[in-house]
Structure 1
Amino acid sequence: MPRLKPSNVIIIHPDLGIGGAERLILDAALALQARGHRVTIYTSHRDRNHCFEEARDGTLDVRVGGNTLFPAHVGGRLHVLMAVLRQLHLVGEVLGELARRGGTTTTAGEKKEEEEDDIFIVDQVPACVPVLKILGPRYASQRSKSKKSKRQRILFYCHFPDQLLARRDEGNTLLRLAKSLYRFPFDWFEGWAMSASDKVVANSKFTRGVVSDVFGQGRLGDVRVIYPCVDTKATGGKVVEDEAIIGDNLWGGKKILLSINRFERKKDMGLAIRAYHGLGEEGRKGTRLVIAGGYDTRIPENVHYHRDLEALATSLGLSTATSKTVISALSIPDSIDVLFLLSVPTAFKQTLLSNSHLLLYTPINEHFGIVPVEAMHAGLPVLASNTGGPLETIVEGETGWLRDAHDVGAWTDVMRKVLFEMDQSERERMAAKARERVEREFSLAAMGDRLEEEIVDMLGKPRRPFTLGLQELLVGVLVSGIAVSVLVAVVLRGL
């Protein structure tokens, strides 16, 4: 496969928070930037106090726009409509900047050879893809001062079909009907917009299969898999607080069982609590369950689910504590069974991984799941649901275990095995296997190689044909979507 020449890579992502999709898109940017490509990330939202370090410290060129005309939601509703409108607003700004941008310059002010091609990478929301397909080449032609014709391609990275993520079972019959009407045009539009891209890739074989089932065989072409990654060259495992280094004696050397996920109901961290309770009072001596993850006070589900998890643990007779900072987490009493850590810093997360005995990954049908890969990179075995992405990342008995998420006793049995039955040589063997697998399949270098391979393949083929005869229908669908959205808002206000 020929090497991709230096290109102008433009990444469009809706919100640079601290979720798995954000981690993936930043890693993709880092991998391509390390290979000499000019990478710019455009987003409609970035909270510098609630994002990954690379999104705020200047490592990557991040530009925020498309957020002045439309809010992120209206009264906690209409998220998908606002996401589409904000992205279209953002892409208008991107195209304007693309038209104005000339060749890059060196620090000495000398002209550098212009990048070979323009590569757009879009994820999560495909609304802008038809716009880029139609208008992108026109804006690029205004920019280019060379006689050489530049190629322009669009790659859509599919984490999971948005229409399957939408919650449609809330409220009474009238509300559910209104939601179904509201979602219908957007569900149709999602597949139509994705088909405008020149290539679609997915984050796992599981997601690829779902994409094929939802949008049909062949509509999106040959969907390839590019796995998310971890930076295996990064250093981690320690964190400095008040000039004191935390080593391998976290919380007095307690045996830690760790769960890392966003505080969302679909992540089912309650399974970890129930399985931990199954160890019994004697089995829990000298241990602690730590539940850490993304937590945003702006998101009601995060707040409510955290409270529900606390109530569940308390009802089972487990003592709990919640910490929002590393300092408060380190000072909790020895008697605490379950510790909730809200949005812990990356460095402390690495400390948790390096000091734990087992990672508990509880979601069912997770699209990929980067946390198990991060744990394996740290040499930590993983216990996960035997569904979705973990089937592709975890090797049974070698890097972890896969169990039925509905069989709480099976999860307790694995916990007991890891805590009390495994010897040091077995731990070291599993840690070595895990690190080897991550380096080979899920490293930043591996992701960069696969991204470049797919881009080169995309550039080597004609642009994918796009049916423009549906434009009138598209306008009608969008107008009906807006009308239905207004109807839904009125209905909700009256309920």
Structure 2
Amino acid sequence: MSKVIFLHPDLGIGGAERAVIDAALALKSKGMDVKFVTAHHDPGHCFQETKDGTFEVITAGDWLPRSIFGKCYALCAYLRMIYAAIYLVLFSSLSFDLIFCDQISACVPVLRLSSAKILFYCHFPDMLLTQRRSFLKKLYRTPIDWLEERTTGMAHCVLVNSKFTAGVFRDTFSSLSHIKPEVLYPIPDFTAFNKPVEPPTKELMPQNKKLIFLSINRYERKKNLGLAIEAFGQLTERHPDVKDIHLIMAGGYDERVTENVEHYLELRKLAEKLKLADNITFLRSFSDSQKRTLLTNCSCLLYTPDKEHFGIVPIEAMYMKCPVIAVKSGGPLETVEDEKTGFLCQPVPDSFSEAMDKFLKDSGLSKRMGNAGKERVLARFSFEQFTEKLHGIVTGLLSGKP
């Protein structure tokens, strides 16, 4: 039996965490022995599979700081991941044939000290996730950026989560032109989505509304969540007499993350400023069961990140027959079929509001697009296809035939 270790920075709740858990489920379904090693895991803030015994989770390095006086998050994340790698390779009693590492490549040189094959899954180059407005920030990021590019190239195999990310990888890591990363869409295991859907409670969503729009994303500024609120505000201005439309802002929320706390309050203030507080429900850290209820009972998903690397939520929404309005860039270009399973829009309130207006004017649009979305997911983004491709990549690596 092949033994696989997933090394991940923080097993909280987010798209990257969902992706690695689904990858672990895929390999486990093929008879592989799978475990997780991480720098942080809170059973009260994680996906079900990492707290119900589906996978063994070993934590190493959680005592290390996440920041230095609110700064140097990247440096601390790198150090925490390197420490976890040192523990895994030099001090743990774990045996493994392959290590599946993602997000942070700085630990790859440590992992290469073992005889295991190293697979690195690039969600997106880390160096592109931060801005460098000052000289000090540039000075701070220069060695980190160099380390990321150098260590990414040390993995035995590099995967990316979309064709969009593959292009960004090629343009960003100029010294790695010899590496052709393979695209592995992070398709979720839809088994949980096939469970019975619980009826909505009034605490989760308002009752007896004609049209309910839904946003699902972490409370982070880069997710552009204000766009959903501003677009909804424009929609209500167009139809001042329509009172039974609503917006639900559902987001991953971790009180340890300062940005989550700050941005949640910023969005609440934006809703109040636009006089929309009574028409918007804010949810934080909802369950998988609640997600199924939301996607089943809402009219449309608003997916606002610009140049999103892939985006798992639109796939989940379409599987649950919920149409998607998304920004016309990045991953949604590969997943959402414009005017068939939803609408691809410019990242401005006018464009989103116009698309939302179509659902208000055509009461049957949500059902038609929802059915088309389910068909698209089953045809192009099945978990079975994902499992077979990942299993083939892993077995090829282990046999020396990548």
| C-alpha distance in structure 2 between counterparts of 1:283 and 1:157, whole Å | 50
**Cα RMSD between the aligned structures?**
2.1
User: Alpha-carbon deviations, 1:332-372, whole Å to 9, x = none?
Assistant: xxxx2011111112211111110000100111111111111
1:92 to 80, 86, 91: 86
User: Is 1:136 aligned with 2:114?
Assistant: yes
Q: Offset of 1:218 from its aligned partner?
A: 4.7
**How does 1:17-416 map onto structure 2 within 5 Å?**
17-68=12-63, 70-96=64-90, 100-101=93-94, 118-133=97-112, 135-137=113-115, 152-169=116-133, 176-216=134-174, 218-219=176-177, 221-234=179-192, 235-236=194-195, 238-239=197-198, 245-246=199-200, 251-254=206-209, 255-279=211-235, 280=237, 281-282=239-240, 284-318=242-276, 320=277, 336-406=278-348, 408-416=349-357
User: What secondary structure sits across from 1:232 in the alignment?
Assistant: coil
Task: Give the alignment's TM-score, normalised by structure 1.
Answer: 0.76
How far apart, in 1, do the equivalents of 2:169 and 2:10 lie?
23
Task: Name the SS of the counterpart of 1:136 in structure 2.
Answer: coil
User: Is the alpha carbon distance of 1:47 and 1:220 closer, same or farther for their aligned partners in structure 2, counting shifts above 3 Å?
Assistant: farther
Q: Return the letter of the residue paired with 1:342.
A: R
Code of the aligned partner of 1:434: G
1:274 Cα offset (Å): 1.4
Q: Does the 8 Å contact 2:120/2:152 carry over to 1?
A: yes
Query: What is the one-letter code of the residue matched to 1:238?
Result: V
**In 2, distance between residues paired with 1:45 and 1:186?**
22
Partner of 2:372: 433
* Mapped partners of 1:283, 1:58: distance in 2: 52
- Amino acid of the residue matched to residue 27 of structure 2? L
Q: TM-score, normalised by structure 2?
A: 0.93
Structure 1 residues 194, 453: closer, same or farther in 2, change over 3 A? Answer: same
Distance 1:166 1:413, change over 3 A: closer
Partners of 1:66 and 1:91 within 8 A in 2: no
Q: Is the 8 A contact 2:205 2:248 kept in 1?
A: no
* Cα distance in 1 for residues equivalent to 2:47 and 2:83: 24
Report Cα offsets for 1:352-407 as digits up to 9, x if no partner.
1100001001111111111111110110000000011100110112111101112x
- Contact 1:360/1:384 (<8 A) preserved: yes
CA shift in 2, pair 1:421/1:20, >3 Å? same
SS in 2 for 1:398: coil
Aligned equivalent of 2:395: 456
Unmatched 5+ residue regions in structure 2? Answer: none
TM-fit CA distance, 1:261: 0.9
Please tell me whether the aligned partners of residues 40 and 60 of structure 1 are also in contact (alpha carbons under 8 angstroms): yes
Q: CA deviation at 1:230?
A: 2.1
Distance change (3 Å), C-alpha of 1:250 and 1:189:
closer
The secondary structure found in structure 2 opposite 1:401 is strand
Q: Percent identity?
A: 42
Contact 2:299 2:366 in 1 (8 A): no
How much has 1:456 moved relative to structure 2? 3.2
Q: Once the 2 structures are TM-superposed, how far is the Cα of residue 127 of structure 1 from its aligned partner?
A: 1.4
Query: Do structure 1's residue 421 and structure 2's residue 347 form an aligned pair?
Result: no
Kept after mapping to 2: 8 A contact 1:42/1:65: yes
| Cα deviation, residue 237, structure 1 | 6.0
Q: How far did 1:201 drift?
A: 0.5
Q: Secondary structure at the match of 1:30?
A: helix
- Which blocks of at least 5 consecutive residues in structure 1 are unaligned? 1-5, 103-116, 138-151, 170-175, 240-244, 321-335, 464-495
Judging changes above 3 Å, is the alpha-carbon distance between structure 1 residues 294 and 284 closer, same or farther for their aligned structure 2 residues? farther
